[in-house]
Amino acid sequence: MKILIVDDDALIRDSLKILLELEGDMEVVAAVANGQEALEVCKDSSVDLILMDVRMPIMDGVIATKNIKNLYSHIKIVLLTTFRDDEYIKEALKHGAEGYILKSQSSDSIIESIRMVMKGNVVFEKGIASSLKNFIKKESPTQQLKVELTERELEILKLVGEGLSNKEIANSLYLSEGTVRNYVTSLLEKLELRDRTQLAIFYLKNIEK
């Protein structure tokens, strides 16, 4: 997988580059200092995933996430930061980020988070995840279901909301991965949502108790 590192701290950039390139299946295509530079890299290079700092000069990570997702929706974005800031979490989710993790996590945990996101999961550091449910419910009003979901669709929505990949959902429910993929596509269409991140948020806001 091709990874772009975006952080205004040169030491962090260099450390992450060394860490990721120890993995045989990871290639760091560039390491840049702000969101504007990240946009330029995405124009000129093939990128699968971005590790994005939040607080940066010129263009911060939240605005960069919005701009990159609008232009290159296939690129996965994980915000990697030292700050537990609910407002940033809210904005990052709204713009389609697939993860929000802390720099204080172990190197193994960061690597695992990258792999999980590339498999289709939505990833949050445990401390963030525990506060995220209450935050989403408090800040975002529930939405009345416009359509009726089947029992199976609700099962799959729950597992997406808990961060499982299609493969993990398939194993859990004894279905084929293709069948799960079809259900996820159907849920996105029925609920008029854009991606798995929005499905997970919808579950946390409206279904999860």
What is the C-alpha separation between 32 and 138, in angstroms, rounded?
35
Mean pLDDT value across the chain: 84
The number of CA neighbours under 13 Å toward the Cβ of 79 is 30
| Angle of CA points 66, 72, 75, to nearest 5° | 90
Percent of the chain with pLDDT over 70: 85
What pLDDT is recorded for position 141?
A: 47
26: nearest Cα among 69, 76, 74, 73: 76
99 or 42: whose pLDDT is higher? 42
Convert 83-109 to b/e letters by CB count within 10 Å (16 or more is b). eebeebbbbbbebbbbbbbbbebeeee
Per-residue pLDDT tens over the stretch 97-135: 888 888 888 888 899 889 988 887 778 765 555 555 555
pLDDT at 78: 94
Q: Which domains does the chain have, with CATH numbers?
A: 2-138 (3.40.50.2300), 141-206 (1.10.10.10)
Q: Confidence class of residue 146 from pLDDT cuts 50, 70 and 90?
A: low
pLDDT at site 86: 64
Is residue 38 a contact partner of residue 52, using CB atoms and an 8 Å limit? yes
